[in-house]
Amino acid sequence: MFETIAFYTFSFLTILAFAITVTTKNVLYAMSSLAGGMIIISGMFFLLNADFLGVVQIIVYTGAVIALYAFAMIFFDSTKDIVETKTGKTFFILTVLSSVMLVLILTIPMASGQVEALYPIHEGVGNAQDVGMVLFTKYLVPFEVAAVMLLVAMIGGIIMAGKKMDKNLTEIKENEE
């Protein structure tokens, strides 16, 4: 019962929050509702016995991602509204119809009864421990690669935002400095 109430509440809230995000004109509203939606999703994770994921969700998204966005927004002039060209009715209907189509498809039960869990969740073991076990055995390599990916992202971010990019060697003449 509790699960049902929680699910519907969370669902309603996330949908609402994300709907605001994609429709609002104000970037600040959008970001706030995005952050809100993400926190609610972490609640959903807890509901699904994925505690570790819930924690990561809160830390990474609300802690890191949203913070990054916030800093970026300070940089951008958020007062300057971007004209959202009105999309045509047909386009809107098409979008809605295809979304409905997608949702309808996904209502079909997908889970198979015969599937045996390859990396089962152990009863009585904390989720973080469980996750850790799998993460550092089976998913060790992806984990490391993810680290490399983050490194790449970091380098990329730094370079792009860095001062060196201001002077363009590609375009200025050879002898100029």
Partner 1 sequence: MITLEHYIVLSTILFAIGMYGVVVRKNLLMLFFSTEIMLNAVNIALAAISNHYGDLTGQMFAFFIIAIAASEVAIGLGLLIIWYKRHGSIDLETLQSMKG
Partner 2 sequence: MLEAVNISFESLNMATLTPMLVAIVGALAILTIDLFKEEMDKTLYIVLTILFLVADLSTVLGQTMGERGFFDVMLIDGLAILAQIVLLIGSIIFIPLAFSSQRFHEYRYPEFFALFLFMTAGFQFMVATDNLILIFVGLETASLALYTLIVLHNKDKSFEAAIKYFTMGALAAGFFAFSGMIFYGLTGSVELFKIFEVLEARNFEPMILILTASVFMLASFGFKMAIVPFHTWGPDVYEGSSAALAGYISIVPKVAAFVVIMRIFEGLIASGIVWIEYIFYAIVVLTMTLANIWALVQKDVKRMLAYSSISHAGFVMAAIMIGTTQANSAIFVYWILFSFTNLGAFAMLWVSHKKDSNYHERFDHPFEKFSGMVKMSPLSAVLMGLFMLTLAGIPPFSIFWGKLYLVSSAVNAGYLVLAVIMVLNSAIAAYYYAKLIVYMFMKEPETGVDGSVYMMNASISLKVMLGIAAFFTALSIFIVNPVLELSDFFIYSSGF
Partner 3 sequence: MSEETLLYIALFSPIVSSLFAALFGTVPKRVFVGVVTSGLIGLSFLSSLALFIHLQSGSGVVHVQMFDWIMAGDFSVPFGFLVDEVTVTMMLVVSLVSTAVHIYSIGYMEHDKGFNRFFSYLSAFVFSMMFLVMSDNFLGLFIGWEGVGLCSWLLIGFWYHKHSAGWAANEAFIMNRIADLGMLLGIFLIYWTYGSVQYDVVFSAVSEADGEILTWIAIFLFIGAMGKSAQFPLHTWLADAMEGPTPVSALIHAATMVTAGVYLVIRANELFALTPEVGLFIASLGAFVAMFAATMALVNRDIKRIIAYSTLSQLGYMFVAAGLGAYWIALFHLVTHAFFKALLFLGAGNVMHAMNDELNIMKMGGMRKVMGWTAILMLLASLALAGIYPFAGFFSKDKILEVAFDGHYYILWATLWITAGLTAFYSFRVVMLVFFGKERYKDFGFHPHEAHDYMIWAMVPLAVLAVIAGFFEHQFVAFVSNVLPVYEFSEHTHHMVGQLILVTSAIAITGIAIAVFSNMFREGVFSSAFRNTILFKLFDNQYYIPKIYEEVITKPYMELSKVFWEKVDMKIVDASVDGIANILRSTGENTRGMQSGNLSYMLRWMAGGMMLILLFAIVYTYSDVLLNILQGVAK
- x/- site string to partner 3, residues 67 to 96, per CB under 8 A? ------------------------x--x--
Residues 103-122 that bind partner 2 (CB under 8 A): 105-106, 108-112, 114-118, 122
The sign of the dihedral angle between the CA atoms of 111, 113, 118, 124 is positive
Residues 105-124 that bind partner 3 (CB under 8 A): 105
Q: Is 168 in the site for partner 2 (CB under 8 A)?
A: yes
Residue 160 or 174 with smaller CB distance to partner 1:
160
Determine contact, residues 77/51, Cβ cutoff 8 Å.
no
Q: Could you tell me the end-to-end alpha-carbon distance of the chain, in angstroms, rounded to an integer?
A: 71
CA angle 144, 146, 152 (to 5 degrees): 110
Q: Is 161 in the site for partner 3 (CB under 8 A)?
A: no
The C-alpha atoms of residue 42 and residue 35 are separated, in whole angstroms, by: 11
- x/- site string to partner 1, residues 44 to 63, per CB under 8 A? xx--xxx-xx--xx--xx--
Place of tokens 């913070």: 67
* Residue-wise burial string across 124-159, b where 16 or more C-beta atoms lie within 10 A, e elsewhere: eeebeebbeeeeeeeeeeeeeeeeeeeeeeeeeeee
Q: Is 79 in the site for partner 2 (CB under 8 A)?
A: no
Q: Is 102 in the site for partner 1 (CB under 8 A)?
A: yes
Q: Is 84 in the site for partner 2 (CB under 8 A)?
A: no
- CB of residue 90 to partner 3, shortest distance in Å: 12
- CB of residue 1 to partner 2, shortest distance in Å: 25
Candidates 61, 69, 22; CA nearest to 43 is 61
Q: Is 98 in the site for partner 3 (CB under 8 A)?
A: yes
Select from partner 3, partner 2, partner 1, none the partner in contact with residue 169, using the beta carbon and a kind-dependent cut-off of 5 to 8 Å: partner 2
Reading phi first (left if > 0) and then psi (alpha if -120 to 50, else beta), residue 146 is in alpha
Q: Is 151 in the site for partner 2 (CB under 8 A)?
A: yes
Binding site for partner 3 (CB under 8 A): 91, 94, 98, 101-102, 105
